[in-house]
A and B are shown apart, each in its own frame.
Chain A
Amino acid sequence: GEKVEQHQSTLSVREGDSAVINCTYTDTASSYFPWYKQEAGKSLHFVIDIRSNVDRKQSQRLTVLLDKKAKRFSLHITATQPEDSAIYFCAASPSNTGYQNFYFGKGTSLTVIP
């Protein structure tokens, strides 16, 4: 089955700097890649996603890049703010399961230092 690796367990940046979180996946059938944010004591909520028919998607300060050849995708946060501090989870969902299955990375704890 699919295996999603999220290589950084923690990441610290200064307020206003950019943060990049990287993930890799193994299953070539994966074609949907959402990102979720989990703030302290709270549940996961969706922040941005990318489908395999594009290699870049931007939403305000968030950009997701997808490199299908390398089976790698990344979340870029520009002009970071203290409220961006949270655990970020990447996920991959294979099309051959009807997108039923979601495989999550282990999470990256982002700290934005004021």
Chain B
Amino acid sequence: ETAVFQTPNYHVTQVGNEVSFNCKQTLGHDTMYWYKQDSKKLLKIMFSYNNKQLIVNETVPRRFSPQSSDKAHLNLRIKSVEPEDSAVYLCASRTGTGGAETLYFGSGTRLTVL
């Protein structure tokens, strides 16, 4: 049963535009993530957000920024998209109790940059 909701499912845009993707989890989890999955299915962590603490993968370009209004929401904004941003963006969450608990993934947002 889906408990991590992402919108939109697909987005097509042109180079230089700004895009924003939404993610909401209804699991009561404390930690949320954004992952990028490229065309070869490689998964790369972009951000994790826990208790208002943001952890950024230092290889993520500055045009990417996460936005959170509360612990159930973590949106992703891309300021000026580039062709290499075409990918599937996966949102995930997990409980932040400090124990070993798994990630729950959303269905993904497929971005195509023309």
Contacts and interface: CB of A to CB of B under 8 A. Distances in A.
Interface of A: 31-32, 34, 36, 38, 42-46, 49, 51, 87, 89, 93, 95, 98-102, 104, 106-107
B103 to A, nearest CB: 6
Contacts of A44: 90, 103, 105
13 contacts: A34-B103, A38-B41, A44-B103, A46-B102, A89-B43, A93-B100, A99-B101, A100-B31, A106-B40, A106-B41, A106-B42, A107-B41, A107-B43
Interface centre among B40, B55, B105, by most chain A C-beta atoms within 10 angstroms, is B105
B66 interface: no
Contacts of A89: 43
Chain B interface, DSSP helix/strand/loop, else mixed: loop
Interface residues of B, number: 24
